[in-house]
Structure 1
Amino acid sequence: MQLNVKRRARKAFAAGFAAVAAAGTGVFAVQFSAAAENPSAAQTCVREALPIPDGLVSTRVSAMSDDGSVIAYYALPLDQSWPDGLGAYPRLYADGEVTDVPMPGNHPRIRDVNSLGNGTGYSTNAQGRDVPYVWSDGVLEKLPIASAGGRAEGINEHGDIVGNVHTVNGGVPLLWPADGSARVRLPLPAGATSGYAHDIGDDGTIIGAVYNENGTATAYRWGADGVNEPLPVPAGADPTKAFSIAVDINGDWASGQFFAPGAGTQALGVRWNLAEGTAERTLLDRDVAVSATGIVAGYLPGTPDIAAFQDGDTVVELHGVIPPEKREMQEYAQEISADGTVIAGDIYIGDDEAGLANYNAVVWTCHRS
Structure 2
Amino acid sequence: MTRKLRSCPKRHLEDANRLAHRNGAITVVDKYRYLHQESIGSGAFSNIFVAIKDENVDNISGTIQCRAYALKRIDKARITPEEIKRETTALLSLSGKCENIIKYHDSLEDTFFQYLVLDLMDGDLNEFVGNMEANSVLRNDPSQCVEVTKQIINGLAFLHHNGFIHRDLKPGNILYSTEHHLHFKIADFGLAKDISALSTMTSTRGNAVLMVAGDERPHVVERNIEEMNGNLKNDLHPEAKSFLGALLNVQPSRRTPAAYLNQHPFLWSDHKKMEFLRAVGDQPEAIKPGNNYCMETENYRTNNVIDLVRFIRNAYAHKQERSIWFQQVLDNSIFLRKFPRLVLDVFGVVQRLELESRNTIHSALSL
Alignment TM class, shorter chain as reference: under 0.3
Structure number with the higher strand fraction is 1
Q: Relative contact order, CA 8 A, sep 6+: which one is greater?
A: 1
Structure number with the higher helix fraction is 2
Using the size of structure 2 for normalisation, the TM-score is 0.22
Task: Compare CA radii of gyration and give the structure with the larger one.
Answer: 2
